[in-house]
């Protein structure tokens, strides 16, 4: 017997983390992480959350639907159904999926995502008419024994151009407005991230909650490129940055690396990444993970050139309910840039 009930907070966060970790142990989560993210969810965006209990085994599956606060479109919803591996194939995911659909307000487009190696997830998505519309390339770098010597000329080149790299923590010591300047820089850079969507600008307060105030964001590991000769009304002297997010499992993830257009091609992005590698290495961690989009082969090549190794990509599947069609992702369009 399957019983579907609303997600109860905070008591269900622990079992939710257990289920998610059982499905994907590569990106472990904690109940504290889930609770923090939940508290920061903007209430103006729709969200519906449910769990499924199965034959006395307690909660064995999760499901939620929500509007996309990063790239809002009227009628677009992200859907995720997650069933503990040993309970898959019993119709639990199907019941949760059908239940979720009934909660939506005039849905026009449904979106979900999973890694390429999640065969069951792909099979479920395709069974329900979802089509792959995008993919993001995942890469990892082992920092133990990383040799910085071959890249010394890059850091000297950046210094020779009169550019400086400082941590956000350093900047905040003398400039209380540094976070707001970084917020504006982040938005300028984000608009150049080729994810196949049109981004929605978050309010500064919401950005702070989700980024800088996240307990896994480390201000000392957020490196900002400075041009002392530049004074932009919104970003001041900031011209690029990279941020590192600490995962409780011991590895670090790159949240963003970007450089303003007029500063590209100067080795600055690579210099920022090298700063991050030095920090992670100095603090005892051995792995950094990052993600790139197919059109952004320049950044992917930067990562590969300093030792990042490719891992299975993350796929984005979509389904239209308004009579429109989803254009299937065509990797061949970007293959020539590899």
Question: pLDDT for 52-74, tens place per residue?
Answer: 999 989 999 999 999 999 999 99
Give the model's confidence band at 271: pLDDT under 50 very low, under 70 low, under 90 confident, else very high: very high
pLDDT of residue 296: 87
For residue 129, the 8-state DSSP code is: T
Q: Which of 133-142, 145-154, 213-222, 292-301 has the lowest mean pLDDT?
A: 292-301
In a domain, 271, yes or no: yes
pLDDT digits (tens, 9 = 90+) for 233-253: 999 999 999 999 999 899 999
- Assess whether pLDDT exceeds 80 at residue 125: yes
3-state class (DSSP) for residue 166: strand
In a domain, 309, yes or no: no
Is the same domain home to 151 and 278?
A: yes
Whose CA is closest to 37, among 204, 232, 235, 217? 217
Is the same domain home to 198 and 247?
A: yes
249: tokens are 């499992």
Is the same domain home to 130 and 150?
A: no
* Strand duo 252-259 + 287-292: pairing: parallel
Is the same domain home to 60 and 167?
A: no
Is the same domain home to 163 and 245?
A: yes
Residue 278's CB is within 10 A of a number of other CB atoms, namely 14
187: tokens are 């938005």
Percent of the chain with pLDDT over 90: 89
- Assess whether pLDDT exceeds 90 at residue 337: no
Domain that residue 275 falls in: 144-285
Is the same domain home to 115 and 169?
A: no
Domain endpoint, select from 285, 300, 324? 285
pLDDT of residue 62: 98
In a domain, 307, yes or no: no
Domain harbouring 184, CATH code: 3.40.630.30
> Mean of the pLDDT values across residues 2-8?
97
Cis peptide, bond prior to residue 10, ω within 30 of zero: yes
Instruction: Give the whole-angstrom CA distance, residue 275 versus residue 280.
Output: 9
> Mean of the pLDDT values across residues 87-99?
97
In a domain, 304, yes or no: no
pLDDT digits (tens, 9 = 90+) for 143-199: 999 999 999 999 999 999 999 999 999 999 999 999 999 999 999 999 888 888 899
pLDDT of residue 42: 94
87: tokens are 């309970």
Report which of residues 296 and 208 the model is more confident about.
208
pLDDT of residue 195: 83
In a domain, 212, yes or no: yes
Is the same domain home to 46 and 168?
A: no
- Assess whether pLDDT exceeds 80 at residue 335: no
Is the same domain home to 196 and 84?
A: no
In a domain, 292, yes or no: no
* Strand duo 47-54 + 109-115: pairing: unpaired
Looking at every residue in the chain, the average pLDDT score rounds to: 94
- Assess whether pLDDT exceeds 90 at residue 332: no
Give the model's confidence band at 287: pLDDT under 50 very low, under 70 low, under 90 confident, else very high: very high
Whose CA is closest to 132, among 337, 319, 332? 319
- Torsion on CA atoms 288, 150, 265, 300, rounded to nearest 10: -30
Is the same domain home to 169 and 107?
A: no
In a domain, 270, yes or no: yes
Is the same domain home to 100 and 152?
A: no
Is the same domain home to 68 and 98?
A: yes
Instruction: Give the whole-angstrom CA distance, residue 132 versus residue 329.
Output: 6
- Assess whether pLDDT exceeds 90 at residue 226: yes
pLDDT of residue 297: 86
pLDDT of residue 334: 75
Instruction: Give the whole-angstrom CA distance, residue 322 versus residue 188.
Output: 32
> Mean of the pLDDT values across residues 310-323?
96
Is the same domain home to 125 and 156?
A: no
Cβ pair 130, 318 in contact under 8 A: yes
In a domain, 290, yes or no: no
pLDDT of residue 197: 87
Domain count, the chain: 2
């Amino acid at each position: 017997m399957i019983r579907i009930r609303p997600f109860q907070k905070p008591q269900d966060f622990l079992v939710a983390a257990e289920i998610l970790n059982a499905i994907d142990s590569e990106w472990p989560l904690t109940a504290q992480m889930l609770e923090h993210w939940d508290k920061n969810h903007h209430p103006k965006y729709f969200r519906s959350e449910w769990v499924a209990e199965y034959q006395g085994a307690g909660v064995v599956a999760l499901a939620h639907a929500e509007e996309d606060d990063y790239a809002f479109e009227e009628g677009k919803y992200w859907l995720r159904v997650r069933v503990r591996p040993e309970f898959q194939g019993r119709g639990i995911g199907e019941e949760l999926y059908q239940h979720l659909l009934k909660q939506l307000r005039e849905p026009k487009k449904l979106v979900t995502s999973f890694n390429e190696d999640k065969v069951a997830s792909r099979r479920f998505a395709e069974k329900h008419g979802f089509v792959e519309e995008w993919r993001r390339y995942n890469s990892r770098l082992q920092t133990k024994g990383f040799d910085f010597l071959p890249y010394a000329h890059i850091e000297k080149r950046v210094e020779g151009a009169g550019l400086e790299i400082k941590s956000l923590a350093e900047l905040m010591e003398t400039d209380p407005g540094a976070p707001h300047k970084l917020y504006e820089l982040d938005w300028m850079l984000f608009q150049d991230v080729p994810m196949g969507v049109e981004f929605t600008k978050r309010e500064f307060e919401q950005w702070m909650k989700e980024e800088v105030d996240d307990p896994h964001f480390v201000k000392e590991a957020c490196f900002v490129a400075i041009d002392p000769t530049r004074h932009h009304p919104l970003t001041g002297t900031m011209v690029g940055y990279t941020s590192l997010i600490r995962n409780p499992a011991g590895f670090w993830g790159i949240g963003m690396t970007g450089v303003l257009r007029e500063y590209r091609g100067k080795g600055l992005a690579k210099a920022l990444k090298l700063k991050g590698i030095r920090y992670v290495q100095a603090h005892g961690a051995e792995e950094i993970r990052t993600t790139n989009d197919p059109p952004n082969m320049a950044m992917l090549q930067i990562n590969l050139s300093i030792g990042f190794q490719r891992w299975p990509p993350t796929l984005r599947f979509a389904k239209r309910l308004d009579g429109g069609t989803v254009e299937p992702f065509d990797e061949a369009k970007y293959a020539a840039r590899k």
